[in-house]
Structure 1
Amino acid sequence: MRFLRLTPYILPLLLASCKNEDKTLADNIKPAEKDTVLHITPLEIKLKSPSKQYINSKHNQIEAFYNKIWPKNDLSGGFLVAKNGKILYENYGGYANRSTKEEITKDTPLHLASVSKVLTAALVLKLIDLNKLGLDQRIQTILPEFPYPEITVKMLLNHRSGLPNYAYFADHKEYWDRSMMTNQDVLNLLAKFKFDLYFKPDKKFGYCNTNYAMLALVIEKVTKMNYRDAMKKVIFEPLGMKNTFVFDYEKDRDKVSLSYKGNNVLYGFDFLDNIYGDKNIYSTPRDLLKFDLATYSPNFLNPKLVKQVFQGYSYEHKGEKNYGLGIRLHEWVTGEKLFYHNGWWHGNTTSYVTLKNDTVALIALSNKFSYKPYRIWKLAPKFGKYPVEPDKADDAE
């Protein structure tokens, strides 16, 4: 196993979690769960550490950008930019809990909102890579009560299923009483009421949280583990993401970083806050950097599958925006591509940008409502030939 020097605090974690090529999840689970074994392979990451001159130059450019976006340093969250795993600039500020004055640091997990979809997709893709799941497999063969026979795993990953958004039908009293809802409840409602699809499966793109809530159930059925445990054992622990976890409403609501409106008023939990897969992963910029590094390893996912991840699937309408398998993308007529995912849940706004051709990660997380994290993608031209217009309107989720 060969590794080049990356960064003093990222690389040792990856090495420590990937020592033994024969290590499996069976080492950490009960004997009855042996059939859920998913191999954790060593990560071979060949990225050269940038020079000091490069680091200093980019640090100053990024700092100037940061000060322009947050001129009063009023960030309530975390901001990080890295090249080849080496952090070029990071900043943290604000409070995880304003009433107790608990400050946000590099180790404070923040709600990722829809950036959680990137991590959910990663686990689904690992199951596909291990031949435990098929990309074109029909969901009904995994979840028999699922009432839409034409919808496949791929259609959930790339938002071409046509499923209705659970947040809309769950808000009607004839379907739900606004008690705490789970993923299984969402499936049960789909099975019971057989809501009309928004469009015929695979006809067009339609971003929908229900897709990833269903993928979380697929993960549970295939791995025979709870989604929270599966994410921890297959993604978080192997990559050394020690400050990353899936929120559990009953256990975590009094411990996690809270969410605030733009005027600093607390944004409370509601009956949709125990649904996972589409949201509800808490993490840090440094942990997301570890995940980003893993995506450059041919041992993380089969390169042929990776190619399918980072391509667009929706070309019904002309434009530069598209969606791959768990990742958004800008693709310009000039050939450049930028991959990203934004998130927005309650007061949490998040953005994860990965510049694959330049091995750069741009990450901004906020627990106070703001469009500012979405602007981090405008740093892209400082690392490559990306035709980003500086005066273009900011992207929302």
Structure 2
Amino acid sequence: MKMSFLRKTNIPQILFLSLVLASCGKDKKAVEKEIVTIEDTLPKMKPLAAEKKISQAYINSVTGRINHFYTKNWPNNTMNGSFLVARNGQIIFERYNGFANKNEGTTITADTPLHIASVSKVLTASAILKLVNAGKIELDQKVNTILKTFPYEDCTIRMLLTHRTGMRNYAYFTDHDKTVWDRHDQLTNKDILELLATKDIGLETKTGTRFSYCNTNYAMLALIIEKITGLTYKEAMSEMIFKPLGMTHTYVFDDDKERKKIVPSYKGNGVEIGFDYLDNVYGDKNIFSTPRDLLKFDRSRNSPDFLKPELLKQVYTGYSNERKGEKNYGLGIRMINWNSGQNYYFHNGWWHGNTSSYITLMNEDVTIIALSNKMTRKTYAVRKLAPIFGDYPFNFKDEE
């Protein structure tokens, strides 16, 4: 058969075929090299080096109060979710209870990823900050220098991070007007940008004048991550944060592929909550994780390698000062600043029946995380644990 092929094939054809194959080989190597180059130049979060081990005596001194708080808030282990308290990266207390999927009879364990809702913003902000830290973008760079069709000329990356762009929430302007969006179609981040650019979506307030919490800001930040890295948001978050930190149970939800795989959420009465047209938007939400994985993330954010000191200082600066008050918002993190000088940093989340709370007590190296896939506001009550570890003026007894 080989001889027959050679007799029927002239030399120019053979040479052409060889050149094509050689070219394909070079193209493949070039693509592989390009992928490696992109990944090698990505700024990545690093695990915090070994921290000072806490004593068993200290653990014993605090676990009683934590357990008392837990059983009072969720009697008979009625919490449907995950709960963890750690110091110096060492877990002091954790509980996992309730159904992951009621229909399948699966229960929530330490390895069950739950939707962390707006706590996703802290991770999105961290990826942006790593890109700033690496000099790939600037905090005060205008958004339209990266996203060319972005229509609001004065908006900067810093304003997106701090919710000071004045933009309207995409969930509202796509819900109330059928001429803007057909809710039978899944909305994506790129769709939001296209609508902003073509549908004359006006600002709620003048850019830079006041704080207005808005998910649209973080949907745009996700697109910036994609534009700068050349990767999808899902790939970029994996390469920059999840893989380097060993967050093996954390991922960005792909609504087109993973609806049947994820842990669903439930109303307070136990009725499962379905999906809607907003479930394909990421950056502001749509990360699934576990408390143990988020603990790794928190410790990395508290490592000297996270950001340069001058940039780190800006992360924990409050930018919403048009009204006097203790509550404020930094670069992707909520805060309470008391007159005593004590500061409290956290972020809460809610999406469908999922609620979440991430607390980092930086002075005490304490991490508190609560996630639930059954609607409850008790998830947010975990802030009342802060006085166990430091001088935080929350009334612990109010939550008992």
Tell me the TM-score normalized by structure 1. Answer: 0.90
Count of residues in correspondence between the two structures: 365
Per the TM alignment, residue 390 of structure 1 is displaced from its structure 2 partner at its CA by 4.2
The residue number in structure 2 matching 1:32 is 34
- Equivalent positions of 1:210-289 (< 5 A) are 210-289=216-295
Give the AA of the match of 2:182: D
The residue number in structure 2 matching 1:76 is 80
Contact 1:378 1:390 in 2 (8 A): yes
Per the TM alignment, residue 303 of structure 1 is displaced from its structure 2 partner at its CA by 2.3
1:333 aligns with 2:339: yes
The residue number in structure 2 matching 1:111 is 115
The residue number in structure 2 matching 1:173 is 178
Contact 1:162 1:201 in 2 (8 A): yes
Residue 288 of structure 2 aligns to a residue in which SS? strand
Give the AA of the match of 2:179: E
The residue number in structure 2 matching 1:316 is 322
Distance 1:112 1:281 in 2: 6
Contact 2:132 2:138 in 1 (8 A): yes
Give the AA of the match of 2:181: W
The residue number in structure 2 matching 1:4 is none
Residue 30 of structure 1 aligns to a residue in which SS? helix
Give the AA of the match of 1:294: S
Residue 75 of structure 2 aligns to a residue in which SS? coil
What is the aligned counterpart of 1:87 among 67, 91, 111?
A: 91
RMSD over equivalenced CA pairs, Å: 1.4
The residue number in structure 1 matching 2:386 is 380
Contact 1:45 1:296 in 2 (8 A): no
Distance 1:154 1:119 in 2: 15
Q: Per-residue displacement from partner, 1:193-228 (whole Å, max 9, x unpaired)?
A: 131111111111000000000000000000000000
Contact 1:109 1:257 in 2 (8 A): yes
The residue number in structure 1 matching 2:24 is none
Per the TM alignment, residue 40 of structure 1 is displaced from its structure 2 partner at its CA by 3.9
1:196 aligns with 2:198: no
1:305 aligns with 2:305: no
Distance 1:196 1:41 in 2: 37
Mind listing any 5+ residue stretches in structure 1 that lack a counterpart?
1-28
Distance 1:355 1:380 in 2: 8
The residue number in structure 2 matching 1:6 is none
Contact 1:45 1:293 in 2 (8 A): no
Sort the Cα spacing of 1:82 and 1:41 in 2 relative to 1 into closer, same or farther, 3 A: closer
The residue number in structure 2 matching 1:16 is none
Distance 2:45 2:125 in 1: 18
Distance 1:246 1:141 in 2: 26
Distance 2:337 2:352 in 1: 29
1:121 aligns with 2:125: yes
The ranges of structure 1 where at least 4 consecutive aligned residues each deviate by more than 6 angstroms after the TM superposition are none
Sort the Cα spacing of 1:290 and 1:266 in 2 relative to 1 into closer, same or farther, 3 A: same
Contact 1:59 1:88 in 2 (8 A): yes
Per the TM alignment, residue 392 of structure 1 is displaced from its structure 2 partner at its CA by 6.9
Give the AA of the match of 2:279: D
Residue 236 of structure 2 aligns to a residue in which SS? helix
Distance 1:218 1:315 in 2: 27
Q: Per-residue displacement from partner, 1:133-174 (whole Å, max 9, x unpaired)?
A: 100000000001000010000000010110100000111211
- Equivalent positions of 1:362-373 (< 5 A) are 362-373=368-379
The residue number in structure 2 matching 1:154 is 158
Q: Per-residue displacement from partner, 1:209-255 (whole Å, max 9, x unpaired)?
A: 00000000000000000000000000000011000000001211100
Bigger fraction of residues in helix? 2
Per the TM alignment, residue 312 of structure 1 is displaced from its structure 2 partner at its CA by 0.6
Distance 1:116 1:148 in 2: 25
Residue 121 of structure 1 aligns to a residue in which SS? helix
Give the AA of the match of 1:300: F
Q: Per-residue displacement from partner, 1:167-196 (whole Å, max 9, x unpaired)?
A: 001112110011101000000000001311
Judge which range, 298-307 or 377-386, deviates more: 298-307
Report which of the two structures shows the higher radius of gyration computed on alpha carbons.
Answer: 2
The residue number in structure 1 matching 2:16 is none
Sort the Cα spacing of 1:131 and 1:113 in 2 relative to 1 into closer, same or farther, 3 A: same
